[in-house]
Amino acid sequence: MFERLQGKTVLITGASSGIGEACAYQFAAAGANVILGARRIDRLSTVSATIRAKHPSVTVETIELDVRNSKAVDQAVSSISGDIDVLVNNAGLAMGTDTVDNLSDAAIDAVIDTNVKGLLYVSRAVVRRMKQQGGGHVIMMGSIAGIVGYQTGSVYCATKAAVKAITESLRAETIGVPIRVTEIKPGMVETEFSVVRYGGDKEKASSVYHGIEPMTADDVAESVVFAASRHPRCVVADVVLLATGQASATLAHRKYFNMGFHPGHFSYAHRCHGRLRNKLIFAGVTLWLASTVIAGVRRSTGWTHNSHRLASPPPPPPVQINMPPNDERLQWLEQEYVAAAPDAATREQRQAWVSAERARVAWAWNRSTMARNHCNEAKGLMTWYLGVGERTLDWATRKISRSQHFHWQSPPTSTLPPTSSLQPPPAGESTNSTV
């Protein structure tokens, strides 16, 4: 499948790590000679030694190269002898996750100088060579960030949109020359990319991939090698590669929202990707599940200090609706005050007042009795379900019953005349009750 690459020369920028490094191994495995460029020459030496050991038949060259330096790029390209059949324009980076209003000059310059100007310097030098040699293939490393911008990615997204524009322009410019131009736009790939973006913080970098399986550098390199190895009459013009759980630059399915706790859930970097609402839902559901499981274990094993009470839910106590047993004031009203009325009409009126007062007192008494019964019932159920100690519940009940929840409706107001007018009957007057 890749035999067309045998003996070809492939120049790869940014070959000291990640996608570029993976491309170097895969092109070498396909029999192509590779020229590797990057700033970290020690890393390139390691890659080159690995390739030589595995594929002794291919040649490997390393060039210390900073693509931001146009003169150095021209020199490096002119130092390459022979044809350059394929250029993999891969060197690139993102720096920080700042919003537009917080961007530093350094971050703007580094990213634009590398991803746009550097890519143009390399393309210019190599396309000149390809035109002279009568053909070639330029493969640009774009990104899905070049299709849709996302928060805190303004500069990086802009540079990758520029790569798309440069690719299309170059393809249009080279239709009369057999130069093929390809753009590969990967989504989430786990490389050193995020470590560089977060200034070397590996924990933040790895949290970018929490809950999702990102692509590997090899996954992308396979597409690069595939594109480069097509028949010369065919161009793989545009390839978008996404991690399986990813739909776009901004939409990814993170499994731990459904499956449970992940240490990255509460990490700083996660806050850029997750939402507080999800964390609260997660914490609430976890607490509820944990308490249900503990209660279940306690019920089924009898593992509790008051297990004898937990064998079955207690029957709710009967609701009693009673008058207060010894309301002396009511007794006095009925026995003395009504009976002492000077005439039948007054007695009838006094009796009506007393009946109204009796109803009012009964109302208040019944409500407090019902509230007490509800509290006891809830307490019993909680003791049974949760295995909470009774003393704790007594304390909670006292708190609740003192709170405003049980005073939401005031009892009917008394219709009795002021107490000052309720004098006991004069001595010697009849005290027989008529009620």
Ligand X SMILES: NC(=O)c1ccc[n+]([C@@H]2O[C@H](COP(=O)([O-])OP(=O)(O)OC[C@H]3O[C@@H](n4cnc5c(N)ncnc54)[C@H](OP(=O)(O)O)[C@@H]3O)[C@@H](O)[C@H]2O)c1
Binding mask 212-241 for ligand X (x = CB under 6 A): -----x------------------------
CA angle 79, 85, 91 (to 5 degrees): 70
Which residues 6+ apart lie within 8 Å of 31 measured at CB? 2, 3, 5, 6, 7, 55, 57, 58
State which residue, 103 or 240, has the beta carbon closest to ligand X: 240
Cα dihedral value 76, 77, 80, 81, nearest 10:
-140
Cβ burial of 136 (10 Å; 0-12, 13-18, 19+) is buried
User: Does 141 contact ligand X by CB under 6 A?
Assistant: yes
Q: Which of 5, 10, 12, 20 binds ligand X (CB under 6 A)?
A: 20
160 is known as an active-site residue: yes
> What DSSP character marks residue 183?
E
CB 220 within 8 A of CB 22: yes
User: Does 40 contact ligand X by CB under 6 A?
Assistant: yes
User: Total number of residues binding ligand X (CB under 6 A)?
Assistant: 31
Q: Distance between CA atoms of 11 and 34, rounded to whole angstroms?
A: 6
State which residue, 118 or 387, has the beta carbon closest to ligand X: 118
CB 26 within 8 A of CB 4: no
State which residue, 5 or 110, has the beta carbon closest to ligand X: 110
**Alpha carbon 422 to its chain's center:** 72
Helix %, strand %, coil % of the chain (to 5): 55, 10, 35
Q: Which of 9, 13, 26, 62 binds ligand X (CB under 6 A)?
A: 13
CA gyration radius, the chain? 42
Terminal Cα-to-Cα distance of the chain (whole angstroms) = 111
**Identified catalytic residue from 156, 209, 256, 337:** 156
CB 31 → ligand X: shortest distance, Å? 23
CB 231 → ligand X: shortest distance, Å? 26
State which residue, 125 or 341, has the beta carbon closest to ligand X: 125
Q: Which of 5, 9, 11, 14 binds ligand X (CB under 6 A)?
A: 14
Binding mask 83-122 for ligand X (x = CB under 6 A): -------xxxx--------------------x---x----
Binding mask 295-334 for ligand X (x = CB under 6 A): ----------------------------------------
Q: Which pair of tokens denotes residue 374? A: 């509800």
Q: Which pair of tokens denotes residue 356? A: 């109204």
User: Does 76 contact ligand X by CB under 6 A?
Assistant: no
**Identified catalytic residue from 8, 117, 160, 185:** 160
Q: Where are the alpha helices (DSSP H) in 8-153?
A: 18-29, 41-54, 70-78, 105-112, 119-133
CB 72 → ligand X: shortest distance, Å? 9
State which residue, 264 or 387, has the beta carbon closest to ligand X: 264
User: Does 282 contact ligand X by CB under 6 A?
Assistant: no
Q: How many CB atoms lie within 10 A of CB 230?
A: 14
State which residue, 145 or 393, has the beta carbon closest to ligand X: 145
Part in contact with ligand X (CB under 6 A); list of ranges 65-73, 164-172, 255-263, 391-399: 65-73
Backbone angles phi, psi at 194, to 5 degrees: -70, -30
State which residue, 25 or 193, has the beta carbon closest to ligand X: 193
> What DSSP character marks residue 430?
-
* Subset of 171-200 contacting ligand X (CB under 6 A): 186, 188-189, 191-193, 196
256 is known as an active-site residue: no
Known catalytic residues are: 156, 160
Binding stretches for ligand X (CB under 6 A): 13-14, 16-20, 38-40, 43, 65-68, 90-93, 114, 118, 141, 143, 186, 188-189, 191-193, 196, 217
